[in-house]
């Protein structure tokens, strides 16, 4: 695997073995990330956001750093919930939901930022091993006995739909080194991002080799009125409904008072 | 300007919603209908999940119906007794509708059934209205006088037992068809998120022979209660009423309705009905189009695995 990665890095090919040897001598590199806040609040004007995560490498080899052979991948994974994927087929000319497949513990959102294009950091096998990237999220069907072909079709559809709605996203160049050891990751929060506990994870690669990962938690929640309304609707549905009716009646009455023309 | 909807859990444009409410309010004021049959499809076209569009549509209908019923109440063009009997049926129908609604949602067929119901009802009602209004226009051109109500001429509905007298409507009719009509419209109201005025009005005129002047007021009167009941049921069972969304639509709606009413007064009855018929048909065709045309993606996701 290492050989493969080295071959990709054509420009630096000659220098790499030297750098690699030197890094092995010192104490091992470590990666740390810090969130400026452990809470993101969704307010009434929320229309998606950009989340910035800062991080640092400890004991980075200056030579490798200068050559840009450290790569960082940062992932923000939303809370997991079961998801049902439905498929429409044509019945008597009308498109009807006919087939469905339920997956357990699907992350609601998955936002990934990388220093470079994925294929320049490590090979597909490496991503698969780390279950890293939207394509490698492990999707477990509720009924594991099902036809593997169908399961594959529906899990591909799930990823595709999540990408189409912006919930699964990949941002190449979203991680930037500010100095030899300091980096900044910019992640996309979709407008329809799920509330709950999200997990930020950072993966450090050197010369295409995975070294270490670290994680931090982030709570995304609705703020202020939105939060209270949502909770109220969930906990006191009937009273919420009655209030909704009263608001409608008052609005209708006021509308007539203000705009009446007869 | 974007605003985050707490229940729909998405960000939408305030001005789009105000304009949507205003446009529908204008039309509803012009034609004397609640506008629910336009609001719900429009919300679905705007990517609001159908279950939320339906429940929120019902909430919005209350505001426009209340506003309209007030005017009729003042003019006494409203039969409270007939409205109450319709309402009794309506509550039963709406409760049944909410159960069916929750069941269809679990099954994943809610969107389909909602669309099919819209296409069927809007198509039939729009088609019949268009025919009727074109005929009326032709007749008025050839100088014949037209009257929808022909006293003394009774149909099978008037031979049913359990008769009741409705003074304001000058009607002596069995309560069975009245309750049945109320229940049927209540059922549709809770599944489609409409007040049902576009079915109630023709049914009262043509089936029960209620005088035209009390029809709209009575229909609006009972719609307020059925829509209120539907809103509460949906909010209790499905938590799908978004008050922020509903409020924006209402504000646009009540403002638009008053201007629509003024324009409506300048148009002639049969022209107005022909225009409304074409509008209804246009919505039906647009929804039918979505049913028959291959969707952008044949796959869809729903949360909770249910």
pLDDT in tens, B108-159: 788 788 888 888 888 888 888 888 888 888 887 776 555 554 444 556 666 6
Residues B57, B16, B245, B111, Cα dihedral to 10°? 50
Band the pLDDT of B256: cuts 50, 70, 90: confident
Give the up-direction half-sphere exposure of residue A244: CA atoms within 13 A in the CB hemisphere.
38
- Average pLDDT score over residue span A231-250: 88
How far off is chain B from A153, nearest CA to CA, in Å?
10
How far off is chain A from B302, nearest CA to CA, in Å?
5
Q: Mean pLDDT over all residues of chain B?
A: 81
How far off is chain B from A112, nearest CA to CA, in Å?
21
Q: What's the CA gap between A252 and A240, in Å, rounded?
A: 18
Tell the CATH topology of A2-222. Immunoglobulin-like (2.60.40)
Q: Write the DSSP string, B73-111.
A: HHTT---HHHHHHHHHHHHHHHHHHHHHHHHHHHHT-HH
- Interface predicted TM-score (ipTM): 0.79
Q: What is the pLDDT of residues B49-107, one digit of tens each?
A: 888 888 898 888 888 888 878 877 877 777 888 888 888 998 899 889 888 888 888 88
Strands A168-172 and A110-114: parallel
Residues 6+ apart with CB under 8 A from A221: A39, A40, A41, A42, A195, A196, A227
Structure tokens at B249: 């639509």
More confident residue, B1 or A258: A258
> Among A41-55, B7-21, B121-135, which stretch is predicted with the lowest mean pLDDT?
A41-55
Cross-strand bridge partners of residue A33: A55
Band the pLDDT of A7: cuts 50, 70, 90: very low
Q: Where are the domains of chain A?
A: 2-222, 224-262
Structure tokens at B24: 């529908």
- Average pLDDT score over residue span A90-105: 83
Of A227, A234, A259, the CB nearest to B239: A234
Q: What is the pLDDT of residue A194?
A: 81
Cα of A156 vs its chain's centroid, Å: 17
A244 neighbors B234 (Cβ within 8 angstroms):
no
Stretch (H or E) spanning A204: strand A196-206
- Count the Cβ atoms, other than its own, within 10 Å of residue A149: 8
- Average pLDDT score over residue span A116-138: 84
Stretch (H or E) spanning B61: helix B50-74
> Among A50-54, A193-197, B133-137, B258-262, which stretch is predicted with the lowest mean pLDDT?
B258-262
Q: Which of 149-168 (A) contact B at CB < 8 A?
A: 154, 157-158, 160-162, 164
Is A2 a residue whose pLDDT tops 70?
Answer: no
- Closest C-alpha to A166, from A26, A49, A18: A49
> Among A1-15, A102-116, A169-183, which stretch is predicted with the lowest mean pLDDT?
A1-15
Terminal CA-CA length for chain A? 82
As a whole number of Å, the CA-based R_g of chain A is 24
A154 neighbors A76 (Cβ within 8 angstroms):
no
- Average pLDDT score over residue span A228-250: 87
Instruction: Looking at A165-236, list the stretches that DSSP marks H as alpha helix, in order from N- to C-terminal side.
Output: 224-235
Q: Which of 187-246 (A) contact B at CB < 8 A?
A: 191-192, 194-195, 222, 225-227, 229-230, 233-234, 237-238, 240-245
Of A162, A191, A253, the CB nearest to B70: A253
Of A161, A251, A255, the CB nearest to B299: A161
């Amino acid at each position: 695997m290492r050989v493969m990665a080295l071959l990709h890095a054509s420009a630096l090919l000659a220098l790499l073995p030297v750098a690699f040897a030197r890094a092995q001598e010192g104490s091992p590199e470590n990666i740390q990330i810090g969130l400026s806040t452990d809470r993101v609040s969704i307010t009434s004007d929320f229309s998606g956001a950009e989340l910035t995560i800062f991080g640092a490498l400890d004991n980075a080899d200056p030579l490798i750093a200068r050559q840009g052979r450290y790569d960082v991948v940062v992932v923000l994974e939303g809370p997991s919930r079961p998801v049902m994927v439905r498929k429409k087929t044509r019945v008597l000319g009308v498109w009807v939901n006919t087939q469905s497949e339920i997956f357990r513990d699907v992350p609601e959102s998955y936002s990934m930022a990388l220093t470079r294009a994925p294929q320049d950091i490590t090979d597909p096998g490496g991503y698969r091993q780390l279950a890293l990237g939207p394509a490698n999220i492990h999707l477990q069907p509720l009924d594991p006995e099902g036809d593997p072909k169908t399961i594959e079709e529906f899990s591909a559809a799930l990823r595709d739909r999540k990408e189409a709605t912006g919930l699964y996203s990949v941002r190449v160049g979203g991680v930037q080194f500010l100095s030899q050891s300091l980096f900044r990751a910019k992640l996309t929060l979709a407008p329809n991002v799920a509330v709950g506990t999200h997990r930020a994870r950072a993966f450090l690669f050197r010369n295409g080799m995975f070294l270490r990962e670290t994680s931090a938690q982030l709570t995304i929640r609705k703020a202020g009125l939105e939060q209270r309304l949502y909770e109220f609707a969930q906990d006191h549905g009937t009273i919420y409904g009655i209030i909704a009716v009263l608001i409608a009646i008052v609005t209708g009455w006021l509308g007539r008072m203000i705009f009446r023309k007869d | 300007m974007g605003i985050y909807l707490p229940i729909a859990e998405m960000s939408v444009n305030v001005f789009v919603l105000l304009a949507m409410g205003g446009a529908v309010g204008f039309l509803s004021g012009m034609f004397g209908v609640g506008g629910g049959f336009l609001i719900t499809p429009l919300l679905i076209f705007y990517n609001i999940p159908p279950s939320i569009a339906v429940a929120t549509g019902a909430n919005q209908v209350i505001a426009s119906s209340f506003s309209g019923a007030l005017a009729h109440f003042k003019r006494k063009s409203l039969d409270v007794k007939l409205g109450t009997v319709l309402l009794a049926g309506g509550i039963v129908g709406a409760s049944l509708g909410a159960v069916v609604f929750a069941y269809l949602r679990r099954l994943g067929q809610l969107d389909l059934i909602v669309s099919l119901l819209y296409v069927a009802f809007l198509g039939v009602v729009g088609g019949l209205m268009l025919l009727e209004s074109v005929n009326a226009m032709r007749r008025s051109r050839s100088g014949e006088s037209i009257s929808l109500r022909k006293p003394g001429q009774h149909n099978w509905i008037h031979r049913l037992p359990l008769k009741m007298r409705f003074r304001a409507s000058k009607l002596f009719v069995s309560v069975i068809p009245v309750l049945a009509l109320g229940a049927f419209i209540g059922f549709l109201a809770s599944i489609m998120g409409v007040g049902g005025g576009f079915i109630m009005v023709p049914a009262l005129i043509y089936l029960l022979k209620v005088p035209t002047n009390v029809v709209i007021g009575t229909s609006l009167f009972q719609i307020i209660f059925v829509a209120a009941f539907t809103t509460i049921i949906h909010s209790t069972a499905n938590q799908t009423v978004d008050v922020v969304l509903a409020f924006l639509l209402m504000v646009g709606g009540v403002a638009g309705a008053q201007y629509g009413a003024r324009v409506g007064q300048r148009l002639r009855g049969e022209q107005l009905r022909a225009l409304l018929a074409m509008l209804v048909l246009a919505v039906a065709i647009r929804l039918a189009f979505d049913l028959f045309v291959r969707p952008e993606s044949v796959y869809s996701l729903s949360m909770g695995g249910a």
